Amino acid sequence: MQSHLFISSPCLQKIPSLITLSHFPLSSQFPRKKTSCGCGGWRARAMQRTESGGGGGERNSGVRSKLTEASFLASLMPKKEIGADRFLEAYPEYDGRGVVIAIFDSGVDPAAAGLHVTSDGKPKVLDVLDCTGSGDIDTSTVVKADGDGRIRGASGALLAVNPSWKNPSGEWHVGSKLVYEFFTNTLTSRLKKERKKKWNEKNQAAIAEAVKNLDEFDQKHSKVDDVKLKRIREDLQNRVDYLRKLADGYDDKGPIINAVVWYDGELWRVALDTQCLEDEPGRGKLEDFVPLTNFRTERKFGVFSKLDACTFVANVYEEGNVVSIVTDSSPHGTHVAGIATAFDPQEPLLNGVAPGAQIISCKIGDSRLGSMETGTGLSRALIAAVEHKCDLINMSYGEPTLLPDYGRFVDLVNEVVNKHHLIFVSSAGNSGPALSTVGAPGGTSSSIIGVGAYVSPDMAAGAHCVVDPPEEGLEYTWSSRGPTADGALGVCVSAPGGAVAPVPTWTLQRRMLMNGTSMASPSACGGIALVLSAMKAEGIDISPYDVRKALENTSIPIGTMPEDKLTSGQGLMQVDKALEYLRLSRDIPSVRYDVKISRSGKSSPTYRGIYLREACACQQPTEWTVQVEPKFHEGASNLDQLVPFEEHIEFRCSDTEIIKAPEYLLLTHNGRSFNIVVDPTSLAEGLHYHELYGIDCKAPQRGPLFRIPLTITKPMAVKGHPPLVSFAGMQFSPGHIERRFIEVPQGATWVEATMRASGFDTSRRFFVDSLQLSPLKRPGKWESVVTFSSPSAKVFSFQVEGGQTIELAVAQFWSSGRGSQETTVVDFELVFHGIDVNNEELILDGSDASVRIVATSLLSSEKLVPLAILNKLRVPYRPSESKLRTLLGNRDRLPSGKQILALTLTYKFKLEDAADIKPHIPLLNNRVYDNKFESQFYMISDSNKRIFAKGDVYPKSMKLPKGEFTLQLYLRHDNLQLLEKMKSLVVFIERTLDDKDAVRLSFFSEPDGNVTGNGGFKSSVLVPGLKEGFYISPPNKDKLPKNCPEGSILVGEISYGKSSSGKQSGEKNPKRNPAFYQISYVVPPNKSGAEKEKNSSAASNISVSQRLEEEVRDAKIKVLTSLRQNIEEDRAEWEKLSASLKAEYLKHTPLLVKILDALISRNNEEDKVQHYKQIIDAANEVVDSIEREELAKYIADKSDPEDDEAEKTKKKMDSTRDQLAEALYHKGLALAELESVKPETRTDEVNEEESGEPVVKDDLFEENFKELRKWADVKSSKYGTLSVIRERRSGRVLNDMIQDDGDPPKKKLYDLKLSLIEEIGWNHVASIERQWMYVRFPKSLPLF
């Protein structure tokens, strides 16, 4: 029996002593994602960086010794940097045993090298969960086996059930999914390439056969005059053309996997049918699959096929109605798990930090979103970590945030840490080298240990293969820096940020090099697991608070300057020293010190540190109120812990001239507040970092109990005109960073910078960052990676905010220039420009009045060249339906016991033409962590339930065809009241306008210029200090894009100046200029009802009696249509009334159309011949009622209507044409059906006239088809069914069988197309068509 099942085994294949390293193109998998314009922001899906080469060094190592084979292998999985090697040598049994780590990531492959068992033989992976739902399959459909033991799968395939499988109920739950939906983009690309190669071989064989048949025909028939022969040859040529065109447009949607779920009396079981993935006949059958159950129960997993080599796990939920097929969404999660816990019995040097630890894999990276985390994934992961009684959580994901230590996820993390005592470790981010770039949640949340990325000399030499590694270690250039916006340090500690660790089997390799704070976090997490293993073995209870304090107070500083803490936190963590610290502190209460700081006299906002960044804050001393409150874990005893708590705190600070604070403080459980004074006036320009910390007088060896970080960035003022700042002669070596802080002059809106590099030989790579902070905004960051291959200059321009401090951080990349003795000399020049306006973001309210803009230049003369464009249309929609339900099962039950609720909002919208659109939800978009709503997800589908788009908080633009669509928005929270408030949530559908439809706004020097046409304004030169006004005109109503309803909003950009260098200047697009702002226009109401009625009355010449007669007629027709065809009494009345109305209103087309529609709607007619004849007669009556010559003349005149009456006529004629085409279409279908039940009705024969010349006597179907072709595109999806029927009647195949015209496709049409292809024998084409049938016509919408 064939088996897809693999069970974890300690028997691992031995690898060579020297391994080959592979760089994986991860930069393409985890790109920076732009989320704002101008100064910009970015979001990383996982905290990881990849680069070719690097450097670093061991602390205080002096001259680095040459690598040996052993030290080389050790450098691939670094441990000695954090003292883990010393720890394991001293305590080999404290290698993580007894510790369980939850890996919040992209998923872990349980088949990966080193992740099978622990060092003491226990299963390494305890559970594998897809917390996102991206692998969920709806298996709520229940079927029973037929007499042959077969069931009908969800895809429609007949599947044989293994008779040995126990199923007492006989009920089989079935579901299906396209297999590519389980795979990463990288794996899918590989499979598509391999599958296309095999498909092309089959298609080439089919083309060769088709060409051969055509050639044989041509040789046999040298002259083709006979009509039938012409048709045969045309068909042979069409087959050749069709196959060739198909090869060019080949689009592999992937094989369809059938899933079957059943209850065997004890457990829910899962089996998959994967025959469509296999090349060999008979492989992958459902009956040969070894059934799986929830991984947690038996710890078994499968592989889809040998071709993909992709491991999967199955978990069943909701009593068999949902099965989750768990795969990873990138190699990232497996790599992270390997760093923390891998165990390699053949080569211990390649072990992870804690090889004895066990893990659970919580996939938070959604495969539908390219591995981006979702709120659903994050909350379910926390639920799972508590349910599995994990000790540690590692999360190597994050993004920038506008509010630190805030949001729904942070609230849940606080509960997990404070109540359930889990230790949460996370990456700080990869946005360095600028300050204040730490990401959420790792670098911004108080309950999480944020980890920076360190590189040692051995790592540089071994893992990164650097030619001349440094003698001392350093932080990676890209590692994010603190402080947070509210003054917290941001980075807690640092750990090695690179490793060659296990990766999933589908990558077709065992290990891979990755680096980033993603790798530093599991290194630190593994180190903490060693400490916990020791504590558990020695019976010492510790808390997350104790661990954090131990790490911070025993770390080795990286760098010699106080401000280096902003880069590396308290330093490089040391596991052995942390253990000793905790042993000495075992009898001291576990307390977290909650520090809140506010300016004296103000209760809000509160901060976690003091961050003096702006110039005004550095010009005088300031007084601050500090509240310190001890926090015990939930459940602490009032009498035994809270009441006795009392500590005598001695304050110490790094500089008493800068920070003036009390000397001592008596601290009790209820906390204390005190004031401090910060005096930065004597400090020089630049960066300064200090700390005020509290020491326990009775136990000073404990080190600082709490710290109050003080960061001061004293900016330099820009003086002179033009406002220019230059930094000459800055000298750089690898890893060196120069920071300059500048007070951006008031009125400045952009900077033009020039960077000149000289004095070097080999090429140099630099990171150049600029960053500004503004309240309640993500950091305004501009960044560039610049490479100099020879001495030269680079020019940049970027947007700034006047009056705010900007940091310019220039860093030579840590590995760039290694092996060279030359020092790079950099000169940097900044020239500030600015055009200040009274309204940066303009809203045009829909009136006809122009809006006044006042511009001034405070710095120097600037050329004022206003440019504005409206190139996006946002149409608001309210839900047409809302459904609120309680989610079932443990995976949606919070640790507090509350069950999560889900609200599904349904929106309907229509596109008149194909367009690029995306949903826009201002309340929810662009925030994952700093959001009080737990989760959001949307899907856009058509009337056939085909999914066109999926997304979450970062909607992406997608191309949709014209037609009607449904958007479903899925929101989750445990708070019913919050969800109730969302039931009327407004969603905008944002449509990107084509260039021809974009609205370019005009400017005038007069208020009435937009009406009179006088006083156009193009440009001017602003004199410093003098204001100049002009007007922006609203768009001309006649120039508004079509399908632009009232209440919608046109949005775009406006700019006022251009770069003086001429680069990045936009002649037509303001976004190409260095500074631009948003502009909006509210579309006003259309013509009033009274005005429309007036126009209508004026255009109408019919009398009152005629109007009355028409209304009576229409009322009678309405009564006719209300009679139901499936009720015998109604049908009898319908027959009488329809005959009466036809006699009364001769050739009234709308009446005849309604009669035809009624006949078509009849089902299950016993006399089918009579039924089809009735339809044909009714269709003929519709056709005969239409003046086709008049209609043809009107259609031939393609001029656009010039007034309302002409528009009305056009609509009427278009409607008439559609009625004619529909009648001909249904007549054709009826004729074809009539042939199928009465073949003798077909009359297409070749007769001979008296002259002996052959002539074709077309049958009724052919005549009708030719008539339809005059009025409609017979290859469109709307009428294409007749085209396929026509070809089947003749045994032919169309060249362009069906054209996608934007109308929702009809399943019957594609069924006919598929059957025609199967009849021809093109099985390889049929397989692709079946995939597309599954995509175009799914039986139901996928699960959220």
Could you list the active site residues?
105, 332, 518
Q: How many CB atoms within 10 Å of residue 659? A: 22
Half-sphere exposure of 980 (CA within 13 A, CB side): 3
Name the phi and psi angles at 713, rounded to 5.
-115, 90
Burial of 158 (0-12, 13-18, 19+ CB in 10 A): exposed
Among 171, 167, 169, 191, which residue's Cα sits nearest to residue 179?
Answer: 191
Query: Which residues have CB under 8 Å from 1117's CB, separation 6+?
Result: 1141, 1150, 1151, 1154
CA distances (Å), 648 to each of 666, 707, 844, in order?
5, 15, 62
Separation of alpha carbons 400 and 928, rounded Å: 10
Q: Which pair of tokens denotes residue 1172?
A: 């089809």
State the amino acid at position 84 in one-letter form: A
Separation of alpha carbons 1217 and 354, rounded Å: 75
Collapsed DSSP state (helix, strand, coil) of residue 1025: coil
Angle, alpha carbons 1144-1146-1152 (nearest 5°): 100
**ω into 163 cis (within 30 of 0):** no
Separation of alpha carbons 979 and 942, rounded Å: 26
Burial of 1257 (0-12, 13-18, 19+ CB in 10 A): exposed
Q: Identify the residue whose tokens are 């559609």.
A: 1218
Q: Which pair of tokens denotes residue 779?
A: 């950091």
Q: Which pair of tokens denotes residue 150?
A: 């077969």
Q: Which pair of tokens denotes residue 554?
A: 């025993």
Q: Which pair of tokens denotes residue 896?
A: 């507090």
Task: Give the CA-trace dihedral at 130, 133, 137, 141, to 10 degrees.
Answer: 120
DSSP string over 1065-1086: --SS-GGGSSS-EEEEEEPPP-
The residue count for the chain: 1344
Give, for 717, the enclosing helix (H) or strand (E).
none
Among 630, 627, 662, which residue's Cα sits nearest to residue 646?
Answer: 630
Starting at the edge strand found earlier in the chain, the sheet holding 592-599 runs 592-599, 622-631, 672-678, 659-660
Please enumerate, as own/partner, the contacts of 314-317 that have beta carbons within 8 Å and a separation of 24 or more.
314/270, 315/128, 315/129, 315/130, 316/261, 316/268, 316/270, 317/136, 317/888, 317/889, 317/891
| SS3 per residue for 1226-1242 | HHHHHHHHHHHHCHHHC
- The widest CA-to-CA distance across the chain, in whole angstroms, is 125
Angle, alpha carbons 1258-1262-1268 (nearest 5°): 140
Name the phi and psi angles at 1211, rounded to 5.
-60, -40
Q: 693 has which bridge partners?
A: 652, 707
Name the phi and psi angles at 847, rounded to 5.
-80, 175
Contact 599, 625 (CB under 8 A): yes
Q: Which pair of tokens denotes residue 1169?
A: 């011949």
